[in-house]
Amino acid sequence: MNCRVVLVRTEVAANIGATARVMSNFGLTDLVLVAPVADPRDHQARALATNGEKVLDDCRIVNDFSDALSDCVLVAGTSARTGGLFRRQSVGRPDEIIPQLFEAMSSGPVALIFGPERTGLTNDEVSRLTYLIHIPTDPACPALNLAQAVAVCLYELRCRVAETSPATTEVEVAPYADQERMFQALRESLERIDYLFGPNAEALMFGLRHLISRAQPSPMEVRLLLGLARQIAWFADNKPNLP
């Protein structure tokens, strides 16, 4: 399946190994570790990677969050917390969000992202996701073990594979890295005309990111938005006299 599992700053080697096993159970092979604290070669990782040793051996390690996602067309992460601006707008249960990933798989790689065990993903990382997944649990014990959260999400994805086939008509979606460059250009140009200004700037930019990324823009649409950003910047520099 064209789905990548990304573990961010994982602290427990056993969780890396257990994730590799779960991925093998559900037919996934692409595991990326972002700045891991734990060593995937640790014996605890190996001990819990039963039948997933190849996934563990082939996993890639990158230093930066964006490096793991640069070629992805859609990204979703999990969080036990749902409050605050950056978490409540795009959050949904696995059965609500996973179908969106499944549909996008025909256009390019998608990613499921899981934060570190003690703290989860930061607000900055959450703001860069297309969707946020919240697994309903008892309020008295809301946080699942990392590998358990991976299992729940991959089960939902496997169910979609079993129930339906990917669309035959592929829709090209711009890679994550190109979208990030576009969002940065938009941010800079909108700051120059004071649209992004003051205490509401981050909320406005998050709203724009959320709107555009959920539309899964094509490469042509990303180029169009880059052109818009350049034109806004030109206007800010030249400030022509308007009638």
Do 120 and 218 fall into the same domain?
no
Q: Which domain holds residue 79?
A: 3-163
**CATH code at position 82:** 3.40.1280.10
pLDDT single digits (tens) 181-233: 999 999 999 998 889 888 888 888 988 888 898 888 989 999 999 999 999 98
What strands, in cross-sheet order, belong to the sheet with 91-92?
Answer: 60-62, 30-34, 3-8, 110-114, 74-78, 131-133, 91-92
Do 16 and 101 fall into the same domain?
yes
Distance between the two ends of the chain, CA-based, in angstroms? 56
- Taking a C-beta distance cutoff of 8 angstroms, is the pair 35, 66 a contact? no
Q: Provide the pLDDT for residue 168.
A: 46
Do 157 and 206 fall into the same domain?
no
DSSP bridge pairs for 131:
76
How large is the average pLDDT for residues 139-160? 91
Q: Provide the pLDDT for residue 87.
A: 54
Do 12 and 118 fall into the same domain?
yes
42-47, long-range: CB within 8 Å, 24+ apart, which pairs?
Answer: 42/13, 43/13, 44/12, 44/13, 44/14, 44/17, 45/13, 45/14, 45/16, 45/17, 45/20, 46/17, 47/14, 47/17
Do 131 and 216 fall into the same domain?
no
Do 135 and 195 fall into the same domain?
no
pLDDT single digits (tens) 150-173: 999 999 999 988 887 544 456 688
Q: Name which of 24-28, 216-220, 228-232, 238-242 the model is least confident about.
A: 238-242
Q: Given a cut of 50, is residue 44 above it in pLDDT?
A: yes
- Taking a C-beta distance cutoff of 8 angstroms, is the pair 90, 96 a contact? no
The answer to whether residue 169 is domain-embedded is no
Q: Provide the pLDDT for residue 172.
A: 84
The answer to whether residue 18 is domain-embedded is yes
**CATH code at position 213:** 1.10.8
Q: Given a cut of 80, is residue 242 above it in pLDDT?
A: no
The answer to whether residue 30 is domain-embedded is yes
Q: Provide the pLDDT for residue 241.
A: 61
The answer to whether residue 168 is domain-embedded is no
d(CA 173, CA 140): 40
The answer to whether residue 228 is domain-embedded is yes
